[in-house]
Amino acid sequence: MMKLFAAVLLMAAVVNSQMTCRLKQHGIPNEWVGLRDTTGKCLQEMRNQVQMEINASNIYLAMAAHFSRDLINRPGFAEHFFKSAREEREHGRKLIEYLSMRGQLTKDVTELIQLIDVDVKIDSGVDALRQALELETKVTQSIRSLIKTCEKSSPSWYHLSDWLITEYLEEQLTGERDLAGKLSTLTKMMDSQGAIAEFLFDKQL
Ligand code: FE
């Protein structure tokens, strides 16, 4: 048991050391790095957003796995959440690429993505849609806050704010509306048709 624990610790150390760039800068000019923020808040929130997107991806993956179980067997819900998981991972990747493009990933990336436990418990299709809508609402609030912080930072990161509004806010708002619509339809179907409604709704997804 102790050997296994030591091996895990060693692996963690190796992974961490691989994530940190130890190359010297060799006097390469860095004046082009425009994202200079006196408080550092915008950059920190941007890095937090990467983590939030990856967490959302893992939560959707767990939901997809739940609906894929033989005892649950809702292939429509499973596919819907597998797709959501892929989209969230892509959101995280795009944020990382933006940070790289602005010269913000030249040093340490060890803390950019942390592994966290995913605790997902689902009672029904309605419950899953409600949880997904709550999750997306939190993500939207986080992106709004990020945009505000980066606009207010000195100097203002106006290119980043514009990019976030165009690339992220639009998709968040349409995504929330889509989930709210699905939740409304399924809830009404369950009220009038009972348990068979979830089976029929799954076929539509
Ligand atoms: Fe997202």
pLDDT in tens, the chain (205 residues): 445 444 444 444 444 445 666 666 667 777 677 666 667 888 899 999 999 999 999 999 999 999 999 999 999 999 999 999 999 999 999 999 999 888 887 667 778 888 888 889 999 999 999 999 999 999 999 999 999 998 888 777 888 999 999 999 999 999 999 999 999 999 999 999 998 999 999 999 9
What domains lie within the chain, and their CATH numbers?
38-204 (1.20.1260.10)
pLDDT (0 to 100) of residue 172: 96
Distance 86 CA to ligand 1 centre (A): 10
Using the mean position of ligand 1's atoms as its centre, give its distance from the Cα of residue 93 in Å: 10
Cα of 56 from ligand 1 centre, angstroms: 7
Of 104, 81, 196, the C-alpha closest to 150 is: 104
Expressed in angstroms and rounded, the spacing between residue 33 Cα and the centre of ligand 1 is: 26
Residue at token pair 């091996």: 7
Using the mean position of ligand 1's atoms as its centre, give its distance from the Cα of residue 136 in Å: 8
pLDDT value for 7? 47
Task: Supply 170's token pair.
Answer: 């639009």
Output the CA 49–ligand 1 centroid distance in Å. Answer: 9
Model's pTM, two decimal places?
0.83
- Which position has the token pair 């939207």? 140
- Residue 92 C-alpha to ligand 1 middle, in angstroms? 7
- Helix ranges restricted to H, the chain: 2-19, 41-68, 75-101, 125-152, 158-164, 170-193, 196-204
Nearest C-alpha neighbor of 96 from the set 152, 154, 54: 54
Q: What is the pLDDT of residue 20?
A: 64
